[in-house]
Homo-oligomer: A and B are copies of this chain.
Amino acid sequence: MLDQRTASDLTIEDMRAAHERIKPYIHRTPVLTSSFLNDLTGAQLFFKCENFQKAGAFKVRGASNAVFGLSEEMARKGVATHSSGNHALSLSYAAGRRGIPCNVVMPRTAPQAKKDAVRGYGGIITECEPSTSSREEVFARVEAETGAEFVHPYNDLRVIAGQATCSAELLEQTDGLDAVIAPIGGGGMVSGTCLTLSNLAPHVEIYAAEPEQADDAYRSFKAGHIIADDAPDTVADGLKVPLKENTWHFVSHHVTDILTASEQEIIDAMKLTWKRMKIVIEASCAVPLATILKNPEVFAGKRVGVIITGGNVDLDTLPWIK
């Protein structure tokens, strides 16, 4: 079974199997370019637009791989998770497509737009306090009551194999890349990117981008072991969670570097993307562009894939409008 293996057992065949499994349920999202942003950065940027993905985020890839990989018997009891948002949406969407229940434990402070969307996809929300202890306590109760299969937002090999399909598409859609950059929270997308690129395009550099105010991955990477923050606060609300053993495996083995950006730099990059590219992206996915603008010497002259991870924004409270 996939979930009895460890991160180092994952192979490119797991990614390929995931891609076949989830293709009916996901979009092959477009890659957009911006001559304005190319001029501004001195790099050639290829934006993989997972904000256009089903359920509004790349997380539907991993969630669908987990849901559709379950045996009939396991599927009957449904799936369950805790999530700050997009994984909850995505697991609800995937469970809905399979016709099985999805229980979600969510902090009561999560954006209303995300709660509404989880319910819109048929997810059943149980609220917890915004602390690790409350979340674990409430989740244990939900899991015991339902017998549902736990699908962790990122520390799950099925999820990592699913996220890995994103950069496989990006490679097919671009004519050669020198680097790929993705935001890092728990590290699911970055781990999937590592799985795919280390196998299919090992010369491509892999950068992770993180908010300064939630820089546990940055500090872990420099220290050589996982350092978890207690309760980081950042506008990039999808990136508050810490690395876990499976994602740390990929980050520590395959990531070229981790770059950070301040809150204002993230907000400026988010607004710039909306303004010039005309796409709605979350603050989390603006972190890569913010770090590219901050470190032009790292990316100048390179062909860089930039993973836009999601577009689920509460349009009533934009960070640049006070």
Q: Which residues of B are found within 8 Å of A313, using beta-carbon distances?
A: 275
A318 to B315, CA, bound (A): 9
Contact of A278 among B52, B320, B321 (CB under 8 A): B52
Which residues of A from 189 to 213 have beta carbons under 8 Å from B? none
Tell me, rounded to whole Å, the shortest Cβ–Cβ distance linking A122 to chain B: 14
Chain B residues within 8 Å of A318, by CB: 315, 318, 321
B-facing mask of A273-284, CB < 8 A → 1, else 0?
011011111000
Interface size on A, residues (CB 8 A): 21
Query: What are 6 A-B contacts defined by CB distance under 8 Å?
Result: A30-B30, A52-B277, A52-B278, A279-B280, A315-B320, A316-B321
How many subunits of this chain does the assembly comprise?
Answer: 2
CA distance A296 to B30 in the complex (A): 30
CA distance A32 to B56 in the complex (A): 14
Q: How far is the CA of A271 from the CA of B30 in the complex (A)?
A: 22
A238 in contact (CB, < 8 A):
no
Decide: B52 and A315 in contact? CB cutoff 8 A: no
Query: What B residues does A320 contact at CB under 8 A?
Result: 315-316
- A51 contacts the other chain (Cβ, under 8 Å)? yes
Query: Which of A278, A279, A280, A321 has the most CB atoms of chain B within a 10 A radius of its CB?
Result: A278
Specify which chain B residues have a CB less than 8 angstroms from the CB of A316 in the assembled complex. Answer: 320-321
Known: A52-B277, A275-B313, A279-B279. 4 other contacts (CB 8 A): A51-B278, A275-B315, A278-B281, A279-B280
